[in-house]
Amino acid sequence: MRNFVPLLFVSVLLFACSPVREKAPPNIIFIMSDDHASKAISAYDSSLIRTPNIDRLAENGIRFDNCYCTNAICSPSRAVILTGKYSHMNGVLDNSLSFDGSQQTLPKILRDAGYQTAMLGKWHLKSEPTGFDHWFVLPGQGAYYRPDFISPEGRVSVEGYVTDIITDKGIEFLENRDQDKPFFMMLHHKAPHRSWQPAIRHLDIYENKAFPVPANLQDQHKGKSAAAKEQEMSIARHMALDYDLKMPEELINKKGSDRELFFGTDWSNPQNKMTADEFELWRSYYTERAESYNLLPNDSTAIDEWKYRKYMEDYLSCIYTMDENIGRIIDYLEEKSLAENTIVIYTSDQGFFLGEHGWYDKRFMYNEAHRMPLLISVPGLKEGEDSHMITNADFAPTILSMAGIDPPADMQGESFHEILQGGEPGQWRESVYYHYFEYPAVHSVKRHYGVRTNKYKLIHYYYDIDEWELFDLEDDPYEMNNLADNPDFTLVLSEMKTELHRLRVHYQDTMPQEYLPVSPEEISHLAKGLDYTLKFAPSERYPGTPGSLTDGIAYPEGEAYSYEKDGWCGFRGDNFIFEMDLGEVTKITEVRAGFLQHQQNWIFLPMKIEFLTSLDGQEYMNITREFCSGLEKNDRIEKIQVRTEYTDLEARYIKVKAKNTLLPDWHSGAGKPAWLFVDEIIVIN
């Protein structure tokens, strides 16, 4: 015992003086598919398919039940995930735009912190990947069979099926990585994107399975907006028998049905991407499908249900192969003893319609497209299901937090790392914001933005319509009954509009081509009701009043789409020069002006707009921050807002100038003066 105390003291002293071994930063694998509906993952719903490998992530981690995208379309969702910022902030509003790779991104921050980074698979952002030590990506949408890939070394064609190849390249990166660094690998699958072309070995894996038909497959969209009725993504009328369902047109005995649509056999013919044996199997399989179609009665319901089931056979076959390959990644981690310090995330770029409302594709804010699958296996942390409202803007800050890195303050998403640790954030969100921009474009889904809470969803469709949809998600989970015009929900509608306005302001979503982020009925601002002078009298008012430019009514019912409504001042050839005395020197932060465009009726945007302020009405300072320029030919009626922002500006006098234009060469009135139509001038303190 006499020797024990000194020995104990020495042992404690040595332990205290020894360097503490910090836990190594976690490896992170981010797996994302394209258009994978939550309903097609058995961890969420086992009615369509079993996905045992994706389910392993839920069994050893967390299944998020309320994860939502901010813009349900491919490129924008990917840009949101990379930046942690909404579409209007990262610059990718729709699939036509290129991602600015010079901006701050998740992989750049991780690489700067010592991670080895890789991007493999579907990129779909037009510009080359940045922030990655290694990248090997599909050009554009990519092909299912013998796909091309691009990398810093150039372009190469790779034999095989795209899902297998992407997984091979992922494992190859893991094998050859720098083992002294943690790794961050983005593994992005093409599957199950349209046109749902299965691996040859899995062509018939779901053949003739009796998939349950959605109860609203024949949804007629009664009481809903024009957007729901005018879309071009219905299984009945827009799903092609050749491109989508892969049946050679020459083998079809046409029924003369309005359900028959063909894009031309070249769309669906993958012969130049396959071996002769593979194509023989492909051709044989889809020839049998054509024979099955020929036996159908010429009955719209029968044809719709048959098309839905064949769509499911191909779509789910693509997922079956993807699930196999995700199993390969998980097995590799376990075999190489990497699983204990590797976070694996599985998601899709958005959801997808599997016959609900009669549709395929995504884009709408309805639940099937808005909701994303999200399963995260985090060794040693929380397991089970979680109901917090998550968005894809949260992914980047959360991944950074898991890596021990503070997310940048300008990321708009929020880290849910505390949730992963089993904690309860003090003030987590109770609503999510959504904005879809891509219209006019393929599938003709109109532009809209909206807000969702656990109880309600409000959607506003704009641009060439002005319509609202309100759904009670508890009583109407399939979003069939629009309550926007129901007098019993007037208070709910008002509260949801208030919350929508709050989110639009919070996320700074004030793009010029949209409605102002305020109530559509009335705007409060410094200039409201004040007198003003115009250097040139309007050529026309529709019908207009002396105070129409400062009446506080920016876009009353119908006005945004008709120049024959109150509030518009029209100038034929003359410029618009507006002057106002606010009555006293006051602080202002923003000046806005609204313009109408309808080129068919000779109404064009100004060539140039200037905002000026003055303290004494004599010396004016130009505070312009934004200019208009002529647009390409466009016959749609649309409204444009132009605004300028300034910090700590004091002024008493406001001047707004807009320069009119001549009609362009392509116009029927080429060379003649255009019309300039102006609405509300808004001054905000």
* Residue 678 and residue 658 in contact, taking contact as beta carbons nearer than 8 Å: yes
Q: How far apart are CA 121 and CA 138, in angstroms?
A: 6
Q: What is the pLDDT of residue 525?
A: 79
Averaged pLDDT, 311-338: 98
Which positions ≥6 away from 388 have C-beta within 8 Å? Answer: 64, 66, 416, 419, 425, 428
Q: What is the pLDDT of residues 178-193, one digit of tens each?
A: 999 999 999 999 999 9
Judge if 45 and 188 occupy the same domain.
Answer: yes
Burial 564-575, CB ≥16 within 10 A → b, else e: ebbbbbbbeebb
Which of 269-283, 529-543, 545-559, 671-685 shows the highest mean pLDDT?
Answer: 269-283
Q: What is the pLDDT of residues 587-618, one digit of tens each?
A: 888 888 888 777 767 788 888 888 889 998 88
How much is the mean pLDDT over the chain? 87
Coil/strand/helix, residue 334: helix
Domain termination site, one of 422, 453, 487: 422
Q: How far apart are CA 366 and CA 351, in angstroms?
A: 10
- The helix-helix angle for 276-294 and 300-335 (nearest 10°) equals 150
Q: Which residue has the higher pLDDT, 324 or 665?
A: 324
- The helix-helix angle for 162-176 and 300-335 (nearest 10°) equals 20
CATH of the domain at 462: 3.30.1120.10
Burial 195-212, CB ≥16 within 10 A → b, else e: bbbbbbebbeebeeeebe
586: which strand partners?
Answer: 651
Q: Considering the domain boundaries, does residue 16 fall inside one?
A: no
Judge if 475 and 561 occupy the same domain.
Answer: no
Is the pLDDT at 629 greater than 80? The verdict is no
Averaged pLDDT, 309-338: 98
Total structural domains within the chain: 4
Q: What is the pLDDT of residues 203-236, one digit of tens each?
A: 999 999 999 999 999 999 999 999 999 999 999 9
Q: What is the pLDDT of residue 547?
A: 52
Is the pLDDT at 43 greater than 50? The verdict is yes
Judge if 209 and 355 occupy the same domain.
Answer: no
Q: What is the pLDDT of residue 467?
A: 92
Most distant CA atoms of the chain, gap in Å:
109
Residue closest to 209 by CA, chosen among 368, 360, 47: 47
Q: What is the pLDDT of residues 530-552, one digit of tens each?
A: 888 888 887 766 544 445 677 76
Averaged pLDDT, 132-144: 96
Judge if 128 and 156 occupy the same domain.
Answer: yes
Sheet holding 432-436, edge to edge: 432-436, 448-452, 456-461, 467-472
Q: Considering the domain boundaries, does residue 364 fall inside one?
A: yes
Residue closest to 444 by CA, chosen among 386, 361, 510: 361
CATH of the domain at 96: 3.40.720.10
Instruction: Please give the residue range of the domain that contains residue 342.
Output: 27-195+316-422
Q: Considering the domain boundaries, does residue 200 fall inside one?
A: no
Q: How far apart are CA 199 and CA 281, in angstroms?
A: 11
Averaged pLDDT, 628-640: 50
Q: What is the pLDDT of residues 441-490, one digit of tens each?
A: 889 999 999 999 999 999 999 877 889 999 999 999 999 999 999 999 99
Q: Considering the domain boundaries, does residue 10 fall inside one?
A: no
Judge if 468 and 563 occupy the same domain.
Answer: no
3-state helix, strand, coil in the chain (%, to 5): 30, 25, 50
Query: DSSP string spanning 253-288?
Result: -----TT-----GGGT--GGGS-HHHHHHHHHHHHH
Q: What is the pLDDT of residue 267?
A: 56
Judge if 453 and 403 occupy the same domain.
Answer: no
CATH of the domain at 631: 2.60.120.1190
Q: How confident is the model at residue 332 (pLDDT cuts 50, 70, 90)?
A: very high
Q: Sign of torsion, CA 674 679 681 682?
A: negative
Domain termination site, one of 422, 454, 486: 422
- The helix-helix angle for 395-402 and 74-83 (nearest 10°) equals 40
Q: Considering the domain boundaries, does residue 4 fall inside one?
A: no
451: which strand partners?
Answer: 433, 458
Q: Considering the domain boundaries, does residue 511 fall inside one?
A: no
Q: How far apart are CA 402 and CA 342, in angstroms?
A: 11
Q: Considering the domain boundaries, does residue 526 fall inside one?
A: no
Judge if 164 and 267 occupy the same domain.
Answer: no
Q: What is the pLDDT of residue 268?
A: 61
Q: How far apart are CA 57 and CA 63, in angstroms?
A: 8
Q: Considering the domain boundaries, does residue 522 fall inside one?
A: no
Coil/strand/helix, residue 171: helix
Q: What is the pLDDT of residue 609?
A: 86
Q: What is the pLDDT of residue 557?
A: 38
Is the pLDDT at 518 greater than 90? The verdict is no
Judge if 85 and 176 occupy the same domain.
Answer: yes
Domain termination site, one of 397, 422, 447: 422
Q: How confident is the model at residue 521 (pLDDT cuts 50, 70, 90)?
A: very low
pTM of the model: 0.75
Is the pLDDT at 52 greater than 50? The verdict is yes
